[in-house]
Amino acid sequence: MHNNQAAQDIARETIHDLHGFIQVGMSEKTIAEKCRQLMEAKGSNGWWYHGLPALVLLGSRSTLSISGRDYQPLEDNRVSATDIITIDLSPTLDGWWGDYARAIFIEDGVVAEEDRPRTPLFRQGLEAELHLHARLLEIAVPEMPLDTLYQVMNQEITALGFENLDYRGNLGHTIEAHESERVYIERGSTATFAQLGRPFTFEPQIRALGGNIGFKREDIYYFDADGRLRRL
């Protein structure tokens, strides 16, 4: 098993459990605290991203791209009957990182089944995210410079009628032992995945042009011994 797998499983299972917890009227702060409780109960013993267990953004705040250094969940931002919540989790397990983000959809006052919203606007955003992750698996190779992936994926985002919301303009980063050592999938990065030799995240945060809600989906990827890209 990959060294980061157990930590990533903690994050993945937490998102699953949240689908049975979130209700209309709950605040960002309540949901963020539940994330922490669930991950600790599953064995997480730390948070690699500025000491932040979860970055929870509700409704129009899902378009907000913000560093964990500055983030505070809001008590007065509460779930409505039709809503979106983006949740980005950063557990560690004995120093190994998990890094996993999903959008959770509220329709007619209840949480939609995972990745199965009915609302056209929600479906549009989810399908764009799924397309981008599928394209990553199609085109990424160990010898690819990070700038190339950055350029290709931003072209894909534009072609889909969306925009990249990330405050740094990047699309992901390497998985490291220390937060400050991350290398980003960003403009001008000439390093290749083979040179870096480490797993990486892919996490486009996007919004439809003219839209007022954001979408985010993050997984960890790595190249296997045969040079094939795998999702952790």
Domain ranges for the chain: 5-231
- Residue 1 pLDDT > 80, yes or no? no
* Mean model confidence pLDDT for the chain: 97
Residue 169, pLDDT score: 87
Q: Are 68 and 47 in contact (CB under 8 A)?
A: no
Phi, psi angle pair for 119, to nearest 5°: -60, 125
Q: Is the pLDDT of residue 3 over 90?
A: no
Question: Mutual orientation of helices 28-41 and 5-18 as an angle, nearest 10°?
Answer: 140
Backbone φ and ψ for 111, nearest 5 degrees, come out as -75, 130
pLDDT digits (tens, 9 = 90+) for 64-76: 999 999 999 999 9
Say what percent of the chain tops pLDDT 70.
100
pLDDT tens digits for 134-144? 999 999 999 99
Q: Cα(224)–Cα(86) distance, rounded to whole angstroms?
A: 30
The model's pTM is 0.97
Give domain 5-231's CATH number out of 3.90.230.10, 3.30.300.30, 1.10.10.10, 3.10.420.10: 3.90.230.10
Tokens of 21: 């917890």
